[in-house]
Structure 1
Amino acid sequence: MCDQLRWDYLSCTGHPHLDTPHIDQLAKRGVLFDRTYVQSPICGPSRMSFYTGRYVSAHGSTWNNIPLKVGEMTLGNHLRPLGVRTALCGKTHMTADVEGMRRLGLAPDSEIGVLVSQCGFEPYEREDGLHPDGPRYPRNSAYDSFMKDRGWQDENPWQSVANSAEDDDGNILSGWFMENADKPARAADEESETPYITSRAMDFIREAGDTPWCLHLSYIKPHWPYIVSAPYHDMYGTETHLDPVRSEAERADPHPVYGAFMEERVSKAFRDDAMRGKVLTAYMGLIKQIDDQLGRLMAFLDAEGLTDDTMIVFTSDHGDYLGDHWMGEKELFHDASARVPLIVVDPSPAADATRGLRSDALAEAIDVVPTILEYFGGQAVPHIIEGRALQPILHGKTDAVREVAISEYDYSMREVRRRLGVGVKDARLTMLFDGRWKYIFAEGFRPMLYDLKADPNELTDLGADPAYVDEIVRLERQFFDWTRRMAQRTTKSDEWIAAQDATLGEAQAGILIGYRNEAELREVLSKAEAQNKVARKTQ
């Protein structure tokens, strides 16, 4: 998983200047799901959906640093009973439910406490990035030690070496500032975050040996700070940059929520073409570095003899506007933000017929968990996991597993909410996309609507046009159907409930409600015994 990688910044998804041969090779070996959407266009809640297989409104971690509540089942919880070691190298953006753990008496340093705190993963090495000076974000002591062994004596090498440049006079130029994005980071390529965490992933694979394993290799980049080591810092000049996808009409009378996001500092910064150009140079270089490191990893798997029996899933937690639609960052639902690359390489012979397929089936981030679970032979648990395994498409049995994709966003923590005068509970957006129409429900405001068939660049919001009322009503009905799903009854499956006979169970237990006499009870118990005999013979 990359962080903040757009769906269209790979050569296999159509970028004309950014060459990513190793990721392209994965697409040739597997299936590229070309229309994949995350369940929230921001790191924390998106990742919690990736790890639980559940929509944001089901797992409840609605924004960064909103804890994933104790008791939510994650990928590791599903795989460990199958004997699969499930580990992390890199980022999760997980915030532990400390209050819930304390209430249940779970010590944070106990075996169970660590797993609950780390989103169900064994933290082989957690590296979330984002280690600026100050107490809020913990440092990664392992990376600090690695850099010290390399000769860097800086107190915080993540900040001052890996994510800073240096001018001719020895002054440190912070990568946090966009004007420095086109300069080389002080760290050598092999010292920067992407190669470092790739090496740690390889360490884990060596250590795991013959034990079945599932590794979450989670890169920190191309997420900001936008800065990259040489030689990647100047590989992509302005002649390789795509023009921003935007129109003046979008700014003329925007939807109130969209308009408020346009006024964010980061959105205004990306309107500066010079600043945008510097960021694009770094952003593309960071992606190229990731591709090279994936080539290194694939060569390692070849050398270890693991290629032919390892499933590989390549994706991103969300995209990056990069100035498109007058926006910076992510958070809304244009494809630049909510659509991500997804490549699944299934090594089983059943997938041979679909190798190299570019599927236009709608897929969601929550489909990753059930796909991995099925690969390891685990039973489906649809009362817990809301995603759908992708094997029917991977194995050529169908060309679709769903009719709509859903994404949710809670903007209550953003300044946008205050600018709009919206209460915390109403600062909610939900996107429903059916493959053509993208409908966005905005609590307290009119909906947004885009027709991606007629308007693939999403430049015209039809939500206020009376000519599209029928389309909006149809999509509202689909949205209402989705909201009525049963998402919280996770302790018992539908199949278990369907197999129960509540009345008989009560009678057998001596709870006799509504029986007129003992003869009626005997009749019920006699019929039940006869039915049980028939069932036993059938089995």
Structure 2
Amino acid sequence: MTETGRGAAAPATTPRQSRTMTRNVLFIMCDQLRWDYLSCTGHPHLHTPNIDRLAQRGVLFDRAYVQSPICGPSRMSFYTGRYVSSHGSTWNGIPLKVGEMTLGDHLRPLGVRAALCGKTHMTADVEGMRRLGLAPDSEIGALVSECGFEPYEREDGLHPDGPRYPRNDAYDAYMKRRGWPDENPWQSVANSAEEEDGTILSGWFMDNADKPARAADEESETPYITGRAMDFIREAGDAPWCLHLSYIKPHWPYIVPAPYHDMYGPETHLPPVRSEAERADPHPVYGAFMEERVSRAFCDDGTRTRVLTAYMGLIKQIDDQMGRLMAFLDERGLTDETMIVFTSDHGDYLGDHWMGEKELFHDASARIPLIVVDPRPEADAMRGLKSDALVEAIDVVPTILDFFGGEAVPHIVEGRSLLPILHKRADSVRDIAVSEYDYSMRDVRRRLGVAVKDARLTMLFDGRWKYIFAEGFRPMLFDLETDPDELTDLGADPACADRIARFERRFFDWTRRISQRTTRSDAWIAARDTVLGEAKAGILIGYRNEDELRDALSGTEHRGKKTGKVR
């Protein structure tokens, strides 16, 4: 453990010891926020004092990994506490099937209101709901359609003109009340710039990333959704709640309002982490991703510079909104009774490893920031510390459930509560982190000639070695102790054959887990005497006569065996 809080952060604060009742959770998620683009995680130029203060009030988990390095599957794992191959939503737009229990389903029986303000990237299982007669506009239908959250306000962003994404009517109406008559102000105002002659410059084009968005700061997406979260908290009353506040930035389109658009010039940008050797003879899947249009765009220094200017500005805007939100909790007297979880659904390559976007397993993509603030006195000994424990995104659900006093349900939730670490009862809860990626929906699969069923990657990371299984290809392997930048793939090195074999066995062990028997726990099965129960119900299998049955029901048969008597 090490202390956190570099940069402009204030000294750590300790919650009042007189308040022992805790009742709320604020589960904050950014979209596409890299783990290392905060001052508390080491960025030398991007100062995030408000997020740093959260780290000083809680624990910064420095080695947290997503279950999939892309929005939809990652979020479904965050919300279910289950691996991607367990819940089945393997890529964006593939529905989370009806019947998968989510955080809200676990919390409602405890009397906790679970609500959403922002993005989920959820695609409802419309066919499954229709089969079961669940109307989408019914109370239960709405919950099933929104990852188990009450949709106080869903704002996924990404509603350009076209049929793919639904328009967010609430935000559009808000912008029109602000005086914007545009048909789609999300696209033409919040995510576009404007030339002096009135020409609209779309934020979808990276050449426009360093220009100020047409929207004012206070009416752009991040402050808007912060305000809506505050509205929910005002209206929530005294009942316990878990609010999922989910920002849609710093995800593309990379564009941000003034004054954030020019706060971070090229002198603040870190050089890309990449080497020519990576392109010399890459793993076939990695090589195919390097050829994607977005990867080629980020190899252009001018494009990368413009994007980084906006990306860092978007993060600074989020940090300022964290300050606004924390001050609001203070004013309402909620700080000392609210657990705060701050994280991201995945990272962003930003030109590292000759890549754009996310999707593979380098730390730039699969590693995320994770800060957990437990306001109770039991967590005081760990405040302001950085934990190097391996953590997975699925650990958030059991941590929140544990915080509210819910029982562990390991036959459903595959993650592990982090409270033992937060309360200094343990240094870690796992010895390996697993992440999965289904690239069957990408053009990469077609160019490689891979069948849909085989377009799968799985990462296992033990804290030093990162092993990546690639169906139909050799594995990838990185030694982060000697190669922390992950520039040298050892997957084809004969000297690493034994290590790869050990990882293959570990991968095989992991795939053999039972993850679909969610209706009965191991404890329930272990406590049940199936044979005796059947006998009492009149199901008589294997009994030769009534004497044997009578002995079995009375227990004398077992006692006879224990004493060595022969009947």
TM-score, structure 2 as length reference: 0.93
- CA distance, structure 1, for counterparts of residue 112 and residue 254 of structure 2: 36
Matching residue of 1:13: 41
1:316 paired residue number? 344
Q: Confirm or deny: 8 A CA contact 2:112 2:241 kept in the other structure.
A: yes
What are the within-5 Å matches in structure 2 for residues 22-37 of structure 1?
A: 22-37=50-65
Does residue 133 (structure 1) correspond to residue 161 (structure 2)? The answer is yes
The equivalent position to 1:276 in structure 2, one of 304, 322, 326, is 304
Query: Does 2:192 correspond to 1:192?
Result: no
Secondary structure of 1:341's aligned partner = strand
**Secondary structure of 1:463's partner?**
coil
Within the candidate set 124, 135, 141, 1:113 is matched to 141
Match of 2:389 in 1: 361
1:97-496 alignment to 2 at 5 Å?
Answer: 97-496=125-524
Counterpart position of 2:5: none
| CA distance in structure 1 between the aligned counterparts of 2:285 and 2:297, rounded to whole angstroms | 19
Answer yes or no: is 1:55 the counterpart of 2:96.
no
Q: Which amino acid is 1:25 matched to?
A: R
What one-letter code is carried by the residue in structure 2 that aligns with 1:491?
A: T
Q: Which residue identity lines up with residue 75 of structure 2 in the other structure?
A: R
Counterpart Cα distance in 2 of 1:255 and 1:239:
33
Q: Give the CA deviation at 1:14.
A: 0.1
Conserved 8 A contact 1:91-1:219 = yes
Residue identity in the other structure for 2:520? K
For 1:391-447, what per-residue CA distance to the aligned partner results, in whole angstroms no more than 9, with x for missing partners?
000000111100000000000000000000000000000000000000000000000
Partners of 1:528 and 1:484 lie apart in 2 by 39
1:99-151 alpha-carbon deviations (Å, 9 max, x no partner):
00001111111100000000100000000000101122111111111111110
For 1:534, the equivalent position in structure 2 comes to none
* Cross-structure match for 1:535: none
Give distance in 2, aligned partners of 1:445 and 1:380. 38
Compute the displacement of 1:528 (Å): 7.8
Which residue type is aligned with residue 217 of structure 1?
L
Q: Is the 8 A contact 2:551 2:557 kept in 1?
A: no
Tell me the secondary structure at the aligned position of residue 359 of structure 1: strand
Equivalent AA in structure 2 for residue 21 of structure 1: P
Secondary structure, counterpart of 1:221 in structure 2: strand
Residue identity in the other structure for 2:540: L
CA distance, structure 2, for counterparts of residue 183 and residue 529 of structure 1 = 83
Which position in structure 2 is the counterpart of 1:509?
537
Task: Note the alpha carbon deviations across 1:77-117, whole angstroms, 9 max, x for none.
Answer: 00000000000000000000000000111111110000000
Contact 1:30 1:354 in 2 (8 A): yes
Q: Distance in 1 between matches of 2:227 and 2:310?
A: 22
Q: Deviations over 1:362-419 (max 9, x none)?
A: 0000000000000000000000000000000000011110000000000000000000
Distance of 1:4 and 1:324 partners within structure 2: 14
Deviations 1:508-534 (A, max 9, x none): 011111101100000000018999xxx
Given the alignment of the two structures, is residue 89 of structure 1 paired with residue 117 of structure 2, yes or no? Answer: yes
Aligned to 2:189, the other structure's residue is in SS state: helix
> How many residues matched?
531
Partner of 1:69: 97
Give, in angstroms, the shift of residue 477 of structure 1: 1.1
SS in 2 for 1:187: coil
CA distance in 2, matches of 1:356, 1:7: 17
1:504–1:528 contact (8 Å) kept in structure 2 = no
> Helix, strand or coil for the counterpart of 2:30?
coil
Q: What does the per-residue CA deviation read over 1:34-91, in whole Å, with 9 as the maximum and x for residues that have no partner?
A: 0000000000000000000000000000000000000000000000000000000000
Q: Residue 476 of structure 1: CA displacement?
A: 1.0
8 A Cα contact 2:548 2:557, kept in partner: no
Give the structure 1 partner of residue 67 of structure 2.
39
Please list every run of at least 4 consecutive aligned residues from structure 1 whose deviation after the TM superposition is greater than 4 angstroms.
528-531
- Output the amino acid matched with 1:226: Y
Given residue 124 of structure 2, which amino acid in structure 1 is its aligned partner? A
* In 2, Cα distance between equivalents of 1:328 and 1:478: 31
Structure 2: how far apart are the matches of 1:41 and 1:530? Answer: 54
Alignment check: 8 A CA contact 1:316 1:341 kept: yes
Per-residue deviation, 1:30 = 0.1
Confirm or deny: 8 A CA contact 1:320 1:328 kept in the other structure.
Answer: yes
Distance 1:8 1:529 in 2: 65
Deviations along 1:246-295, one digit per CA (max 9) or x if unpaired, are 00000000000000000000000000000000000000000000000010
2:347 touches 2:366 (CA, 8 Å); kept in 1? Answer: yes
AA at the equivalent of 2:40: C
| Structure 2 letter corresponding to 1:521 | L
Tell whether the 8 Å contact from 1:346 to 1:394 is kept in structure 2 after alignment. yes
CA deviation digits over 1:202-244, x for unaligned, max 9?
0000000111000000000000000000000000000000000
Deviations 1:299-336 (A, max 9, x none): 00000000001000000000000000000000000000
Which whole-Å CA distance do the structure 2 matches of 1:172 and 1:529 have between them? 86
Whether the aligned pair in 2 keeps the contact of 1:30 and 1:345 (CA below 8 Å) is: yes
- C-alpha distance in structure 2 between counterparts of 1:334 and 1:144, whole Å: 37
Determine the structure 2 residue equivalent to 1:537: none
1:530 & 1:156 partners in 2: Cα distance?
Answer: 75
2:492 paired with 1:498: no
Instruction: Give me the whole-angstrom Cα distance separating, in 1, the residues matched to 2:557 and 2:498.
Output: 55
Whole-angstrom CA distance in 2 between matches of 1:400 and 1:28: 20
Give RMSD over aligned pairs.
Answer: 0.9
Listed one character per residue, the Cα deviations across residues 439-465 of structure 1 (whole Å, up to 9, x for unaligned) are 000000000000000000000000000
Find the aligned partners of 1:108 and 1:303 in 2 and give their Cα distance.
37
Distance 1:172 1:301 in 2: 38
